[in-house]
C-alpha cells in the first residue's frame, strides 16, 4: 500500500482523515506545526492499524513549505497516491483592522501552499494507475462573508482551482475532489478568535469524524465536490438562487463582531 500525505494532520478534520485512511490500510505522511502532537498521533495510528506513519513538523505559512514537503517525500522515496490539502485557518475581523501579515500568512496556508503542493506532488501521483487529491475548502466559499472576507475568498479560490485541475486531469488516473464543510467542532473558532459565536457553532457543527467519513467516501467515489450535512448542502445550493446581497447580509450577521 502506498502513502497518503495529509497537511494539518494533528487536529480536527485532518486528524480524522488520517484515522480514516489508516483504517483503509494506507501508510501515512503527516504534516503540521506541532511535532509533539504528530508524534503522539503517529504512535496511536501505528499501534491501532498496523500501518507505517511518518511525520514532518513544518509551518505551512512559510513560502518554501511545499518544496520542503516534496523534498522530504522524494529524499525518502515515499510513494504517494493520496494528497490531502487540509491545513487552513481563519483570521476574524474587519479586513482593514487586522494585521496584513497575519492575513497574508493565512492566504499562504489556505491557498498558496496547497497550490504549490499540488504542482510539486502531481508527478509523484501520476506514477500510479489511480491516485487522489482532496483539497479542503469550506461552505464559506459560496458567498462573501464580512469579517471573514479574505478567508472566504481564499476558500472560493480553492474551490475553483480544484474544479479546474479536476477537468485538466480527467483521464489521467488522478481524481481531484473538493471538500466544503460547514461548521465543524474543532479548534477553528478558538484559533480565529471567534468565541462570540462558539455556542451557535457547537449547536450546528458536525464532528470531525463525521465529516472525514463523508469526505473519504466521496473521494474514493470520485466526486467533484463534497458538502457534508444536508443543511449545509441546501444552504450552499440556495446561494445560487438568492440575490447575493441578501446571502451576504445573512452570512455577515452570523459572523459579525458582537
247-257 exposure pattern, b = at least 16 Cβ within 10 A, e = fewer: bbeebbeebee
Closest by Cα among 225, 217, 187, 218 to 205: 187
pLDDT at 1: 76
Taking only the tens of pLDDT, the chain with its 258 residues reads 799 999 999 999 999 999 999 999 999 999 999 999 999 999 999 999 999 999 999 999 999 999 999 999 999 999 999 999 999 999 999 999 999 999 999 999 999 999 999 999 999 999 999 999 999 999 999 998 889 999 999 999 999 999 999 999 999 999 999 999 998 886 655 554 555 455 555 556 899 999 999 999 999 999 999 999 877 766 766 666 556 665 556 556 666 654
pLDDT at 21: 98
Q: Which domains does the chain have, with CATH numbers?
A: 3-255 (3.40.50.720)
pLDDT at 223: 97
pLDDT at 188: 58
pLDDT at 229: 87
Tens-digit pLDDT profile for residues 57-105? 999 999 999 999 999 999 999 999 999 999 999 999 999 999 999 999 9
Alpha helices in the chain (DSSP H): 12-23, 35-49, 65-75, 100-107, 113-125, 149-168, 188-192, 198-204, 208-220, 230-238, 244-255
pLDDT at 246: 58
Task: Say what the alpha-carbon torsion angle 152, 155, 160, 161 is, to the nearest 10 degrees.
Answer: 140
Distance CA 148, CA 154 (A): 10
> How many residues in the chain?
258
Alpha helices in 8-112 (DSSP H): 12-23, 35-49, 65-75, 100-107
Using alpha carbons only, give the angle 239, 162, 75 rounded to the nearest 5 degrees: 150
Distance CA 16, CA 22 (A): 10
β-pairing verdict for 80-85 and 3-7: parallel
pLDDT at 232: 76
Amino acid at each position: 500500500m502506498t502513502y497518503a500525505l495529509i497537511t494539518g494532520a494533528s487536529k480536527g478534520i485532518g486528524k480524522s482523515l488520517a484515522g480514516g485512511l489508516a483504517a483503509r490500510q494506507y501508510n501515512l505522511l503527516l504534516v503540521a506545526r506541532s511535532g509533539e502532537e504528530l508524534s503522539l498521533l503517529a504512535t496511536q495510528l501505528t499501534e491501532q492499524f498496523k500501518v507505517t506513519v511518518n511525520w514532518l513538523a513544518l509551518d505551512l505559512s512559510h513560502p518554501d513549505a511545499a518544496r520542503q514537503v516534496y523534498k522530504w517525500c522524494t529524499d525518502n522515496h515515499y510513494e504517494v497516491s493520496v494528497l490531502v490539502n487540509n491545513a487552513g485557518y481563519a483570521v476574524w475581523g474587519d479586513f482593514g483592522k487586522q494585521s496584513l501579515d497575519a492575513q497574508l500568512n493565512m492566504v499562504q496556508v489556505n491557498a498558496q501552499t496547497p497550490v504549490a503542493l499540488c504542482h510539486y506532488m502531481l508527478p509523484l501521483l501520476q506514477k500510479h494507475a489511480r491516485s487522489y487529491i482532496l483539497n479542503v475548502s469550506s461552505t464559506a466559499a459560496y458567498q462573501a462573508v464580512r469579517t471573514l472576507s479574505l478567508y472566504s475568498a481564499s476558500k472560493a479560490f480553492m474551490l475553483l482551482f480544484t474544479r479546474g485541475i479536476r477537468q485538466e486531469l480527467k483521464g489521467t488516473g488522478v481524481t481531484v475532489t473538493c471538500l466544503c464543510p460547514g461548521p465543524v467542532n474543532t479548534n477553528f473558532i478558538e484559533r480565529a478568535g471567534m468565541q462570540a459565536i462558539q455556542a451557535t457553532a457547537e449547536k450546528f457543527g458536525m464532528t470531525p469524524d463525521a465529516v472525514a467519513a463523508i469526505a473519504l467516501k466521496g473521494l474514493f467515489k470520485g466526486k467533484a465536490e463534497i458538502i457534508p450535512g444536508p443543511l449545509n448542502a441546501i444552504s450552499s445550493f440556495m446561494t445560487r438562487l438568492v440575490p447575493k446581497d441578501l446571502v451576504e447580509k445573512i452570512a455577515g450577521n452570523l459572523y459579525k463582531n458582537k
